[in-house]
Amino acid sequence: MAELLTSAQMRAVEQAAIASGSSSGLTLMERAGRAVVDAVFTEWPDLAEGRHRAVVLCGPGNNGGDGFVIARRLAVRGWQVELFLLGDPDKLPPDARRMHDLWAAMGPVRGLAPESAGAGARPDLLVDALFGTGLSRPIPEAAVGAFRAVRERKAGGLRTSPCRVVAVDSPSGLDCDSGEMLLPALPQTAGRAGDVQSVAPAARMSPDVPLPISADLTVTFHKPKLGHYLGHPPMPSGKLAVADIGLADWDRPETLASQPPSAERVRLVGRIQHGAPMPGRMWPGPLLNVPGPGLHKYARGHALVLAGGPGRGGAARLAARAALRVGAGLVTVACPPEAQAENAARLDAIMLRPLADAEALAEMLTDRRLSAVCLGPGLGVGAATAALVAAACASAPRAPAPRAVVLDADALTSFADDPDALFADLHARCVLTPHEGEFARLFPDLAAPARRARGQSKVEACRAAAARAGCTVLLKGPDTVIASPGGAASIHAALYDRAAPWLGTAGAGDVLAGMIAGLLASPQAFASPHPHVEVAAWLHVEAARTFGPGLIAEDLPETLPRVFRDLGL
């Protein structure tokens, strides 16, 4: 599984390599610049042939240093290169200063200002080397203005080719830890000139909020950073390429030993395919709930899904169908007696039982074979649901292994007035699956606006929530974050080549809750739900991508068999 790094972790790896004497900062910078040029030619082969025009925007740190390397390497190939520097060359850090001097022997270094950057014919390539992992605050207005001015240049002569934008490490303004764009408020966007605004991922969802800085291609070094995967489309990074600059030997657990525990690495959920496929053994094979030869249905577990009153059972039926399709050997829907006729008419392979109240649930859960419970979808908000949650969680210790409990939707919202009461019920085999709204009801101090104000990322917020709740938390979105007590954290990004916008459809979340319950129902499931929750998030998006446009929630469980076949199972 791939890993994502924070800016501080990346710096620690770089420092370890330099301290070892195996690489100098200058060598790394040269490799970084060369990697960007190579990636540009791979992405746009037409630029690899002939001579073209580039504008390189360099910032005051080492990201700017990479820009000088790129300018030099393009000029050596006969390109016509214009370079603009933000700030004073004498204040550049030593490696960047050295690269500045090498470039200065080949071409001019001009001061960065929108007026000068806007003059001239449209280049074939704009290199954004203004800010990378060292960004610490909203970028200067002049930087945004200059970037825009270059993009708005008119084509010279008969040229009609577009201006492609490559970002070095990150599009400037992107906070590599949180995924937010730290930009000044420009007259076009809002506020008084000089005010700052952070264009947060949620705000970026709106097509009305243009991205003043974005790239067609971003080339990052060694490993992607969290910020590349946190956010909503349109992603400012465009397409993401990761370049090897020879740091792998220095990326060891002890390199990060000096970092705070919260700096534990973040996993990027996804498949890495190499060599001949061994479907049963490769991820996600061992984490699935698949039938073994000669095993009966109980060996795959029995999931119980609680449903709401008459006319409100659809969400639970979706969850139940997903639990069954994902692998639970048996699934039972339990609903209020008055909703039994409705559910009976809609369920076949899924069993049905009446359930009057929390007391009846506690009694039902004395059946130790019920290995997972899913509740919340369509259940209704209020004290009755809160009591069901308490009964579901309290029953866990009596089962042979702690019973998995998946809490979604109304099971979460029922505790909006007293989240601590919920946390008191939870145990380590519980999973909470809130969307941002539900998350805000339980963890107001960690909700999107609060964490943005503090500069805290969705990963940090989800980690803090998991620690407080004492169980695994999956915080939904195109950038789904999963965190567990102890600091384990993962991002499942339905972004870039895994985009699945069709998942934004009613009931998709109910299906996800059911998938998690169906995987955790397996008596072979690990004690920690975390790895199974990762798999559920992946299967959910994989099913959406396999089905494609036109998807509705009902299609997700029905597409799972195809996903499993494609996995080679």
Ligand X SMILES: Nc1ncnc2c1ncn2[C@@H]1O[C@H](COP(=O)(O)OP(=O)(O)O)[C@@H](O)[C@H]1O
CA nearest to 189, candidates 138, 127, 130, 155? 138
Q: Does residue 60 touch ligand NPW according to CB under 6 A?
A: yes
Residue 478 marked in a binding site: yes
Q: Say if residues 246 and 23 touch (Cβ distance below 8 Å).
A: yes
Shortest Cβ 441–ligand NPW spacing (Å): 34
Q: Does residue 246 touch ligand NPW according to CB under 6 A?
A: no
The token duo for 295 is 């095993």
How many whole angstroms separate alpha carbon 194 and alpha carbon 187? 9
Q: Does residue 256 touch ligand NPW according to CB under 6 A?
A: no
**Packing angle of the helix pair 530-547, 508-520 (nearest 10 deg):** 130
**DSSP string over 188-245:** TTSSSTT-EEEE-HHHHTSTTS--SS--SEEEEESS-BHHHHSS-SSPTT-EEEEE--
Residue 169 marked in a binding site: yes
Residue 128 marked in a binding site: yes
Out of 506, 565, 568, 569, the only residue in the binding site for ligand X (CB under 6 A) is 506
Alpha-carbon dihedral 137, 143, 145, 148, rounded to 10 degrees: -110
Alpha helix stretches (DSSP H) within 327-425: 340-346, 358-364, 383-394, 409-413, 419-425
Phi, psi of 511 (to 5 degrees): -65, -40
Closest CB to ligand NPW among 249 and 367?
Answer: 249
Q: Does residue 501 touch ligand X according to CB under 6 A?
A: yes
Q: Does residue 480 touch ligand X according to CB under 6 A?
A: yes
Q: Does residue 135 touch ligand NPW according to CB under 6 A?
A: yes
Q: Which stretch binds ligand X (CB under 6 A): 43-51, 78-86, 323-331, 500-508?
A: 500-508
Closest CB to ligand X among 23 and 480?
Answer: 480
Q: Does residue 212 touch ligand X according to CB under 6 A?
A: no
Shortest Cβ 30–ligand NPW spacing (Å): 8
Q: Does residue 184 touch ligand NPW according to CB under 6 A?
A: no
Residue 46 marked in a binding site: no
Out of 65, 270, 336, 478, the only residue in the binding site for ligand X (CB under 6 A) is 478
How many whole angstroms separate alpha carbon 180 and alpha carbon 204? 9
CA nearest to 242, candidates 5, 410, 14, 416? 5
Q: Does residue 32 touch ligand NPW according to CB under 6 A?
A: yes
What element of type H or E holds 540? helix 530-547
Q: Does residue 23 touch ligand NPW according to CB under 6 A?
A: no
The token duo for 126 is 């704009």
Q: Say if residues 36 and 243 touch (Cβ distance below 8 Å).
A: yes
Shortest Cβ 408–K ion spacing (Å): 39
Residue 202 makes CB contacts below 8 A (sequence gap 6+) with: 232, 436, 448
SS3 of residue 307 by DSSP: coil
How many whole angstroms separate alpha carbon 287 and alpha carbon 303? 17
Q: Which amino acid is it at 537? A: A
Indicate which of ligand NPW, K ion, ligand X, none lies near residue 124 (CB less than 5 to 8 Å, by partner kind): none
Q: Which stretch binds ligand NPW (CB under 6 A): 55-63, 234-242, 305-313, 340-348?
A: 55-63
Out of 44, 84, 103, 221, the only residue in the binding site for ligand NPW (CB under 6 A) is 221
Instruction: Tell me which residues in 138-167 interact with ligand NPW (CB under 6 A).
Output: 138-140
The token duo for 58 is 């360099």
How many whole angstroms separate alpha carbon 375 and alpha carbon 335? 11
Q: Does residue 413 touch ligand X according to CB under 6 A?
A: no
Q: Does residue 14 touch ligand NPW according to CB under 6 A?
A: yes
Whether the ω angle into residue 284 lies within 30 degrees of 0, i.e. cis, is yes
Q: Does residue 552 touch ligand X according to CB under 6 A?
A: no
Residue with the CB atom nearest ligand X in the bound state: 509
Residue 458 marked in a binding site: no
How many whole angstroms separate alpha carbon 96 and alpha carbon 516? 49
Residue 317 marked in a binding site: no
Shortest Cβ 127–K ion spacing (Å): 9
Site string for ligand NPW, 523-542 (x = CB under 6 A): --------------------
Indicate which of K ion, ligand X, ligand NPW, none lies near residue 239 (CB less than 5 to 8 Å, by partner kind): none
The token duo for 550 is 């036109």
Footprint of ligand NPW (CB under 6 A):
10-11, 14, 28-29, 32, 59-66, 93, 131-140, 168-169, 221, 245
Footprint of ligand X (CB under 6 A):
409, 435, 476-478, 480, 494, 500-501, 503-504, 506-510, 512
